[in-house]
């Protein structure tokens, strides 16, 4: 079946512009996660959703970052007034349910470059 | 807060040789541990996981890992490396709300020489 998909695969933007990154989880997966991978770093947790609610958004680095999920399906990560330090690969994952026993399946990521 | 350390940024192994990638974790309770692999241009794929029970866990692609509580380690091993194993490997521990979020190490890049 189809895996997690993300769009766009690459995004180049100018400093100060807003960007939206999209994640389509595996059908039927109720939990959805966003991570960020900066060059030479491991993945950093940003936020996760169970259904359309976000029980944990502790990883969002600033109020320029926000995310929403609708219809217990698609999620959008929005970065306002982008800065060069936002350049990274943004990875989305989904799992059947929240919790450690449920494997997270990752998408291919969106590579964001802020000039 | 939990943390994961992968001390080796790069490792080069000859094809056919054995492999061990190191992972140390810091976590206050029983850890739930994972190894993921990331091949170029692809998303992360789960290799194996440890929740409880037998401390030696088997995964896909011939990988195994051993949980050692006394050393706070969860090292990944493979007896004979293939060129297709060249990739970046990440160790992770589950934590956060409902143990739902993963804290990752910075990764170890595996290079396989002929």
Burial of B83 (0-12, 13-18, 19+ CB in 10 A): exposed
pLDDT digits (tens, 9 = 90+) for A5-41: 999 999 999 999 999 999 999 999 999 999 999 988 8
- pLDDT for the residue A99: 75
Q: Give the confidence band of A113 by pLDDT, cuts at 50, 70, 90.
A: very high
Question: Encoding tokens for residue B14?
Answer: 């000859």
- Provide DSSP, A49-60: EETTEEEE-TT-
Query: Which residues in chain B touch residue A109, judged by CB atoms under 8 angstroms apart?
Result: 43
Give the whole-angstrom CA distance, residue A76 versus residue A23: 6
Query: Which residues in chain A touch residue B102, judged by CB atoms under 8 angstroms apart?
Result: 33, 35, 43, 45, 104
Mean pLDDT (whole number) for A60-78: 95
Q: Is A35 helix (H, G, I), strand (E, B) or coil?
A: strand
Burial of B31 (0-12, 13-18, 19+ CB in 10 A): buried
- pLDDT for the residue B27: 82
Other CB atoms within 10 A of residue A40 CB: 8
- Do residue B49 and residue A41 have CB atoms under 8 angstroms apart? no
Write down the residue that tokens 């994640």 correspond to: A23
> Are B4 and B93 spatial neighbours (Cβ–Cβ below 8 Å)?
yes
pLDDT digits (tens, 9 = 90+) for B46-89: 999 998 888 999 999 999 999 999 999 999 999 999 999 999 99
Other CB atoms within 10 A of residue B53 CB: 8
> Are A82 and A19 spatial neighbours (Cβ–Cβ below 8 Å)?
yes
Q: Give the confidence band of B97 by pLDDT, cuts at 50, 70, 90.
A: low
Give the whole-angstrom CA distance, residue B65 versus residue B104: 16
Q: Which of B102, B103, B107 to mutate to test the interface with A (most CBs of A within 10 A)?
A: B102
Mean pLDDT of chain B: 91
Reference A92, options A26, A14, A2; nearest CA is A26
CB pairs under 8 A between A and B: 69
Burial of A34 (0-12, 13-18, 19+ CB in 10 A): buried
What are the start-end ranges of the E strands in A25-108? 31-37, 43-50, 53-56, 65-69, 75-79, 88-95, 105-106
Question: Does residue A34 or residue B94 have the better pLDDT?
Answer: A34
Q: Is B36 helix (H, G, I), strand (E, B) or coil?
A: strand
| Residue numbers of B between 47 and 86 with CB closer than 8 Å to A | 49, 51
B9, closest residue in chain A (CA to CA) = A40
Chain A contact for B109 (CB, 8 A cutoff): no
């Amino acid at each position: 079946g189809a895996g997690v998909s993300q769009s766009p695969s690459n995004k180049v933007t100018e400093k100060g512009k807003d960007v939206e990154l999209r994640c389509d989880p595996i059908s039927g997966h109720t939990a959805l996660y966003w991570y960020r991978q900066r060059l030479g770093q491991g993945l950093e947790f940003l936020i996760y959703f169970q259904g359309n609610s976000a029980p944990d958004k502790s990883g969002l680095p600033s109020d320029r970052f926000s995310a929403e999920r609708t219809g217990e399906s698609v999620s959008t990560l929005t970065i306002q007034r982008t800065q060069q330090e936002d350049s990274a690969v943004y990875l989305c994952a989904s799992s059947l349910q929240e919790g450690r026993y449920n494997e997270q399946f990752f998408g291919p990521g969106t590579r964001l470059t802020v000039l | 807060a939990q943390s994961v350390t992968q001390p080796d940024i790069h490792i080069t192994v000859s094809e056919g040789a054995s492999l061990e990638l190191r992972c140390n974790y810091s976590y206050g309770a029983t850890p739930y541990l994972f190894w993921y692999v990331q091949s170029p241009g692809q998303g992360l794929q789960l290799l194996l996981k440890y929740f409880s029970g037998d401390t030696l866990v088997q995964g896909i692609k011939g990988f195994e890992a051993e949980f050692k509580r006394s050393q706070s380690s969860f090292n990944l091993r493979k007896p004979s490396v293939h060129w297709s194993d060249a990739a970046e490997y990440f160790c992770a521990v589950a934590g956060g709300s409902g143990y739902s979020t993963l804290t990752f190490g910075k990764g170890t890049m595996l290079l396989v020489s002929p």
